[in-house]
Amino acid sequence: MNFTSQIETAFSKIKNHFTGTQITALISVLVAGLVAHGYVLFNRISYHDNAACLFSLGGTYESGRWVLGFIYDIQMMTTKLFSVPVFNGILSLIFIGFAAMLIVDMFQIKSKVAAAFVGAIMSVYPVVTSIFSFMFTAWEYFLALLLAVLAAKILLKSLSVKNFILSAVVLSLSLGIYQAFFAVTIAAFLVSLTLGVLKNEITSIDEYAKRGFTYLAELVVGLGIWGVMRFITQHIKGIEAVDYKGMDDGYSLALLPNQIIKSLSAFFGFRQAGINALLYLRAFTALVVVVTIIQLVVMLVRSSNKVGVKAISLVGLIFLPIGMNVVYLLSTSEEYHVDSLMVYGNIFVFLLPVFLIEMLDAQDFKAGVIRSLTSIATWIQILSLAVLTVGYIYLDNAAYMKAEIAEEQATAYYTELVANIKATEGFSDDMEIVFVGWENLSDGTNAKVDSVDQLEAVQLEKYPRFTDIITYGGSRYFMQEHLGFGNDLLIEDDGTYADSAEVKAMPTYPNDGSIAVIDGKVIVKLGE
């Protein structure tokens, strides 16, 4: 019956469906991804939310992540859920690889060198590192990335009604997993408008406006579908939305200009929510952006397109930094803050130059000052992109080292704490164990390595110092999952015990008398 030959034929057809540049992008993602993230894929580094979610996906329906909720329900009925780094990590890289293949096709990348860079930067960009600190839900998040890119790809292929509806549905699915990748779809649309003008694919103001408003309408409809499904699923499940980062506080339109300013400041500050905490990363990112602006100016001036069309294309360029950082506009609450998990839209800071360099390769420049200056600037940009790629790989590994050090120290610290609790006079294993002043813990015996300034080079979300872990109230999950200590009787004080005279008289841990049995409960006073 030739089962194996049929399988081989099917694989051959699939392979032939993709271009050489797409395959190059996929391979680049996997190779660069393993170099950048092999540390966390082949070691179980787990704390913070990951310690509490070894067997779950974290917030789902209550956070508006209804597709993530569907995935959770399906897995609980079938495979069950485990925060397994090799499987989740490799599958994540595969989804990033597929997204890179779509990017290469969508923006018509012809050079394998360019395709390799697209794949490399998409996989080593430290937003990936931040998400890998949530290994329990990593592959689902990168499925959201793939869907965000696919939504743009579908509509860019054709502005038909069918593609519009399909694109909006796919976008809603992406938002239903993780909302922050919304910026990727927005940036893809804005970049395509600019390139369309430069390539003379958009030759009238009407055509530019038609495409622009169609893309905007797709974003609105996609958001609408997501919002409706959010309401329906929460109603069916009987779940109330959680107040995440103050996003349920209501939106003040009066503060929108301030949020736009924050978005632009974040873009031109080049810190990218802590990703570029080091000066050299900010400097090379700034160089990339400055040269990109120069290239855009040169190409717009040289373009044979109508002056009016070139002028209106500036609208899309002005909105591009805001689109990349649209997450800054999602809430006006004082509690809301943007972290490094949320800024993958900034990937286009590094992708747009690749698209422009390919276009410059195809242009015939006459010898002269403009050609020489553009060539020099572009080579500086290429070298900057190379430095950033290697720098991000190094930073990714440094983040994982920081995490491993912090986890090892926290494990040792809590092991000693558990031993001291069990050695407390009058201790019984059926007693409630109450931790008082957890967030104010201050222990003079803490390791010196925790104060090393070099650790501040890594300011990615969820890559804290050891002291950040042990002062985090949710670390009771860390003790439960890593040390096997603590049942339902392990609780964090809500202020009730801290106000009692007996507890106020106690010294703080690790001083003698900081752990005591009071009224049949073990009181552990970690801080005032």
**Does 192 have pLDDT greater than 80?**
yes
**End position of a domain, from candidates 401, 429, 456:** 401
- Is 2 part of a structural domain of the chain? no
- Is 369 part of a structural domain of the chain? yes
Q: Are residues 439 and 369 in the same domain?
A: no
Q: Are residues 105 and 157 in the same domain?
A: yes
Tokens of 513: 């008398």
**Does 86 have pLDDT greater than 90?**
yes
- As a whole-number percent, the residues of the chain with pLDDT over 70 amount to 98
- 299 compared with 470, residue with greater pLDDT: 299
pLDDT, tens only, 343-360: 999 999 999 999 999 999
- As a whole-number percent, the residues of the chain with pLDDT over 90 amount to 72
- 373 compared with 477, residue with greater pLDDT: 373
Q: Are residues 388 and 444 in the same domain?
A: no
- Is 3 part of a structural domain of the chain? no
1 confidence band (pLDDT: 50, 70, 90): low
Amino acid 467: pLDDT: 83
Q: Tell me which of 88-92, 110-114, 254-258, 317-321 is least confident.
A: 254-258
- Is 24 part of a structural domain of the chain? yes
DSSP 103-126: HHHHTT---HHHHHHHHHHHHHST
**Does 439 have pLDDT greater than 90?**
no
Question: Which residues partner with 522 through β-bridges?
Answer: 433, 517
Close Cβ partners of 410 (under 8 Å, ≥ 6 residues apart): 47, 466, 469, 470, 475, 478
Q: Are residues 215 and 84 in the same domain?
A: yes
Average pLDDT over residues 46-60: 86
Q: Are residues 381 and 428 in the same domain?
A: no
Amino acid 455: pLDDT: 86
- 485 compared with 74, residue with greater pLDDT: 74
Average pLDDT value for the chain? 92
Q: Are residues 56 and 114 in the same domain?
A: yes
Q: Are residues 410 and 394 in the same domain?
A: no
Amino acid 247: pLDDT: 60
3-state SS track over 58-104: CCCHHHCCHHHHHHHHHHHHCCCCCCCHHHHHHHHHHHHHHHHHHHH
- Is 168 part of a structural domain of the chain? yes
- Is 9 part of a structural domain of the chain? no
CB burial of 327-350 (b: ≥16 within 10 Å; e: otherwise) equals bbbbbbbeebebbbbbbbbbbbbb
Task: Check if the beta carbon of residue 41 is closer than 8 Å to that of residue 85.
Answer: yes
Amino acid 11: pLDDT: 86
Whole-prediction pTM value?
0.94
Q: Are residues 192 and 320 in the same domain?
A: yes
Residue 135: what residue type?
A: M
DSSP 430: T
Average pLDDT over residues 290-313: 94
pLDDT, tens only, 376-395: 999 999 999 999 999 999 99
Number of domains in the chain: 2
Amino acid 326: pLDDT: 96
pLDDT, tens only, 327-338: 999 888 888 889
- Is 10 part of a structural domain of the chain? no
Average pLDDT over residues 305-324: 94
**End position of a domain, from candidates 401, 434, 466:** 401
Sign of CA dihedral 335, 338, 340, 342: positive
**End position of a domain, from candidates 401, 427, 458:** 401
Q: Are residues 416 and 364 in the same domain?
A: no
**Does 246 have pLDDT greater than 70?**
no
DSSP 160-177: -HHHHHHHHHHHHHHHTT
Average pLDDT over residues 313-317: 93
Q: What range defines the domain where residue 494 resides?
A: 405-525
- Is 341 part of a structural domain of the chain? yes
Q: Are residues 227 and 105 in the same domain?
A: yes
Task: Check if the beta carbon of residue 295 is closer than 8 Å to that of residue 378.
Answer: yes
Q: Are residues 381 and 409 in the same domain?
A: no
Q: Are residues 481 and 385 in the same domain?
A: no
**Does 523 have pLDDT greater than 90?**
yes
- Say if residue 283 is exposed, middle or buried (CB neighbours under 10 Å; 0-12, 13-18, 19+): middle
